[in-house]
Chains A and B, each alone.
Chain A
Amino acid sequence: MSEDQPRMVLLRVFRYRSGDEAPRYDEFRVPIGPRTTVLDALLGVRRLQDPTLTLRHSCLHASCGTCGMRVNGREVLACVTRLDGLGDRVVVEPLAGAPVVGDLVVDMEGFYRRLGPSGRPLVRASEQAAPELPDLERFEDCIECGLCLSACPVAATDPRYLGPAALAAAGRLLEEPRGADPAAVLGWVDDAHGAWRCHVAFECSEVCPAGVEPAGAIMGLRRRLLRDRLSRLAGLHDREARP
């Protein structure tokens, strides 16, 4: 491909403004190179074609989690999704399952309300340094982008479902409680709209851009809840069996 003749891609972009009767799709032709991301192209649209296009972005490297959207129906972070290889017509839509504030911007309040009970501490001690040194700290891997919640087929039908990110946070909390009460965490997720609601579709782990594997965390929570129930039952049985 010659550099003077960049390939052109047609973006079909979801548009909605409060007060509109219905959303519409606008089409923009954009030039792309091998490294052009969906976000690069959208920012180019805003700068050169339509300054009213609204979208969220901040870090540009899959660390802040703000530029989650659906590209050709798939949840992605626009900043690390290259257009090359996505075809000549690319459909760009906001995340599903959250109210659209405008164009590609959704209200993240529901996502953060679900995460709330986990406390969502950003930094944890989790890597052992040399024995004489303090534990190393690291940011949690979840970047709170909401892709998992958008992709989850259960969340689409059950608005009360805690959802993959919150359950993954609960799983992480149990691994390293750091002062949190494991019983309270288990009580929070042991609910018809909690760990038991998951249909094991694994869409969340598929779309997670940070390798958090929420589905694995949910399965871990279920095992833990079952084990606790069984040991409670066994304890009951032991007491009853005693003279």
Chain B
Amino acid sequence: MDRPHVAIVGGGGTGAALAHDLALRGLRVMLLERGELTSGTTGRHHGLLHSGARYAVADAESAVECIQENRILRRIASGSFEENGGLFVAVTDEDMDYKPGFLAACAACGIPTGELTPAEALQIEPSLNPALKAAVWVPDATMDAMRLPLRFFASARRNGADLCPFTEVTGLLRHGALVTGVAVHDHLSGRDAEVPADLVVNATGPWCERLAGMAGADVPVRPSPGVLLALRGRLCNRVVNRLHPAGDGDIVLPQRALSVVGTSAWVVTDPDDLDVPEEHVQAMYREGARLVPAVAAAGFRAAWSAARPLVGAAGGASSGRQLSRTFKCFDHAVTDGVEGLVTITGGKATTLRAMAEAAADVVCAKLGVQVPCRTRETVLEPHTAYYTGGRAA
């Protein structure tokens, strides 16, 4: 049997994009996911393709990443986004005070904006709070949280990547301070196996501290859940954001015939044990209705929590909002003296491709592979190809 060059642990958006990137560069890839693909954090996100405007004022690095990836993804994954744009809506005097700095920060980050009067905003989005004071258009879009990563998975598999859902990593194979592969349990067959690899990439999102810990390595990541609320009815056609510093319940957007309001933020230790605090659900109704009044009376469809992997000093921020949304790649040979293990974490659904490129560059440098990244221009397979495209031999 061919020895895989790289074992990727984690079948979320990051693992999907990384499997695609490495397969395109000609590496042998095996991806292991304990459940169904995208069953961790990835599938649960808001469904927002960020323009970056949300982060422009306080987190310019993330904002720039978002607008760059926003443009790339529209090109390589056309058909996976509702390109209806987004509005940042001011409803208080404080929001109006925030506006000049917001516009300047967006301009500095390269994010296009368009100012709208209340009348103009209500004309294109009649669902808005009629008491709005101003609105700013930005190139936000909505996406399908699962089907975008499926396009990366389908493309990776087409290029030979071996995707193994329902295969749980139970340990890391070690040879002294060297990680030589992963031990897995296949839930579908009930069998245990060892997967040798030249390099193991930890793409487990909020679970990455746990996997790195198996090698005695440390990752400063905080699992930071947020509550989201799905309501019956498509209440608006664009992404509606509050024009203020990022806070709770300040994004309302359409998903098919539903509307999704989010989110909140706190910090937990176990990303498998997420509750949905009732007061957070009520906050989604209350804050969402300040932007789109119909939220208040809309029928309940679901409320859930998703744990973001936020990179920050352990023991630091407690609310999660102070932590940057940017991503980090850790070569544990450098950070912990553990060779053969790389962690890619943090980031956002919008930046999955960029996260993969950064991680793949590290992987290739470590393995002595000199092939440039091609994911910026490679158009992805349709999501249906994941189911019908057959499996790699």
Binding site for B on A (CB under 8 A): 17-19, 35, 37, 47, 51-52, 54-64, 66, 79-80, 101-102, 105, 108-109, 111-113, 115-116, 120-123, 127, 129-130, 133, 136-141, 143, 210-211
Chain A CB within 8 A of B124 CB? yes
Min Cβ gap A84→B in Å is: 14
Contact partner of A17 among B146, B189, B304, CB < 8 A? B189
Contact partner of A58 among B146, B256, B276, CB < 8 A? B146
| Interface residue count on the B side (C-beta < 8 Å) | 51
Complex Cα distance, B187 from A151, in Å, reads 27
Contact across chains for B383 and A122 when beta carbons are under 8 A apart: yes
Contact partner of B189 among A18, A35, A111, CB < 8 A? A18
Contact across chains for A63 and B188 when beta carbons are under 8 A apart: no
CB-nearest residue of chain A to B256: A139
Complex Cα distance, B234 from A210, in Å, reads 12
A-B contact pairs, 7 of them (CB 8 A): A35-B276, A51-B168, A54-B35, A56-B39, A61-B230, A80-B301, A112-B387
* B39 contact set on A, CB distance < 8 A: 56-58, 66
CB-nearest residue of chain A to B82: A137
Contact across chains for B187 and A59 when beta carbons are under 8 A apart: no
Min Cβ gap A179→B in Å is: 13
Chain A CB within 8 A of B123 CB? yes
**With A56-B36, A58-B36, A60-B302 as contacts: A138 and B187 at CB distance below 8 Å:** no
Chain A CB within 8 A of B273 CB? yes
User: Which 4 pairs across A and B sit closest by C-beta, in order of nearness?
Assistant: A58-B43, A61-B302, A60-B304, A61-B230
Contact with A along B122-166 (1 / 0, CB 8 A): 011000000000000000001011110000000000000000001
* A37 contact set on B, CB distance < 8 A: 302
Contact across chains for A116 and B302 when beta carbons are under 8 A apart: no
Complex Cα distance, B304 from A167, in Å, reads 32
Contact partner of A63 among B36, B82, B256, B303, CB < 8 A? B256
Contact partner of A139 among B37, B144, B306, CB < 8 A? B144
Contact across chains for A61 and B228 when beta carbons are under 8 A apart: yes
Contact across chains for B387 and A57 when beta carbons are under 8 A apart: no
Complex Cα distance, B39 from A133, in Å, reads 38
* B79 contact set on A, CB distance < 8 A: 121-123
Contact across chains for A61 and B146 when beta carbons are under 8 A apart: no
Min Cβ gap B391→A in Å is: 10
